[in-house]
Structure 1
């Protein structure tokens, strides 16, 4: 492997881990392309041509029309879900009477384009009868590979946080708003989030936890029906109201992936989880 001069070998592992966490896990060519060494064409060069006399000329409409058209290759891509698929998602979610049935409906549902690029449907992990349920946004690379939520670096941090308040995956139920990994770990679109909303809302309804913890801004905004940013929202008790009218106390907090990028804010998440610990103790009567 030929490395550029001055490459810090000791930091290669950290760099590769960064790329993996960002979803860059496939090589497109055998050798890396140095984009900075290639001169970029200016907009004028791409739109105009210089004649032999040095004057700029534009192709005439007649000459333009006489050129043979080159048809773009047809690619098999997943369709963006329409309102019919959104209605089907609501119908399937509402018809599920158990979590197992909901999972089967979700795995069979083909109305979300994210399913076509993901390896697995990531439904949940932990104990569905637990008093606390945690909901993140979407699976990452490791979660997509294993079919379980929060198993990568973020999940390892979440496990340590839960252990600090006396919980683990046998005493907590963990899920995501979206069950399929967005390509390259990109942010899910509002359309993708809305198409998946009925499934996570029904999942919370069927699990019926005593306390709900939303991990990160997207989860909090969706499940708590708010537009506030997570740094303003976190730390205060809110409510999640199910379709049947059940009110579940909810604690919005920072996502573990955010805490990995901003370690100084771990103290904020720690305060939030201490609140969760106290609330669970109160609800259990201890």
Structure 2
């Protein structure tokens, strides 16, 4: 696919410190599973049924409880065709958070985001700015279940998953968030414009409770889109360079 030659730094980069060891969320144990299951009432198991306290309960979960809740979630219709929910992967104390749109077929089968051709391109994009999956990087999605035929997630589906993504951000406390694709951008920013209009703008994410500092955002194209639209790789490269420069400015 010609992935590697495209993503190369044009100027030398200072040596990076030894990579952080990825801290995966620990395996779920029965005690935490029972606690998380108790936290979600029966109304949460009905697709499309909103619960006023659901977001508040999710906002108080730790990683184990979050895993259990996502695996059992039936808050929207996406649950009906999934093989498994995909929470995310990587360093849970990462400075970099990359947010995609939703799991595809391979992600749904393996339970990890970005593992197909788009995942290979994302890995090449990370390598181009001296990053590596799992080393100071966490990867999540706007929705945790695969949309049918890999379509773009709908607004209601993203709204149902929003408390999970918000809780992931609160737990990770990233220094920078890179939004991959229109759905990811709209999940955190709302319907404020097209992806093209959001690229290059100074944007930030403010947690709903306002308990932490605003986090800078960089909006760019989804790797799956870049595989279909090769000329826009140059624009995505500009976005990555901007993200790298922004991260350095935060040091």
Q: TM-score, normalised by structure 1?
A: 0.68
Counterparts of 1:189 and 1:279 in 2: how far apart (Å)?
31
Q: Out of 92, 99, 107, which is 2:63 matched to?
A: 99
Matched, 1:144 2:111: no
Alignment of 1:19-168 (within 5 A): 80-84=47-51, 87=52, 89-96=54-61, 98-168=62-132
2:228 is matched with 261
Gapped runs of 5+ residues in structure 2?
A: 1-44
Counterparts of 2:65 and 2:46 in 1: how far apart (Å)?
26
2:145 is matched with 180
Alpha-carbon spacing, 1:194–1:259, altered in 2? closer, same or farther (3 Å): same
Q: Kindly tell me the number of residue pairs found equivalent between the two proteins.
A: 204
1:280 is matched with 247
Alpha-carbon offset, residue 206 of structure 1: 1.4
User: 1:89 touches 1:195 (CA, 8 Å); kept in 2?
Assistant: no
User: 1:129 touches 1:207 (CA, 8 Å); kept in 2?
Assistant: yes
Alpha-carbon offset, residue 191 of structure 1: 1.6
**Partner of 2:226: helix, strand, or coil?**
helix
User: 2:143 touches 2:161 (CA, 8 Å); kept in 1?
Assistant: yes
Alpha-carbon offset, residue 104 of structure 1: 2.0
User: 1:89 touches 1:199 (CA, 8 Å); kept in 2?
Assistant: no
User: 1:99 touches 1:207 (CA, 8 Å); kept in 2?
Assistant: no
User: 1:134 touches 1:214 (CA, 8 Å); kept in 2?
Assistant: yes
Matched, 1:251 2:235: no
Q: Cα RMSD (Å) of the superposition?
A: 1.6
1:16 is matched with none
User: 2:47 touches 2:74 (CA, 8 Å); kept in 1?
Assistant: no
Gapped runs of 5+ residues in structure 1?
A: 1-77
Residue-by-residue CA offset, 1:112-159 (whole Å, 9 max, x unaligned): 221221111101111111111011111001110110001111111000
Larger radius of gyration: 1
User: 1:89 touches 1:109 (CA, 8 Å); kept in 2?
Assistant: no
Q: TM-score, normalised by structure 2?
A: 0.77
Alpha-carbon offset, residue 244 of structure 1: 2.9
1:34 is matched with none
Alpha-carbon offset, residue 110 of structure 1: 2.3
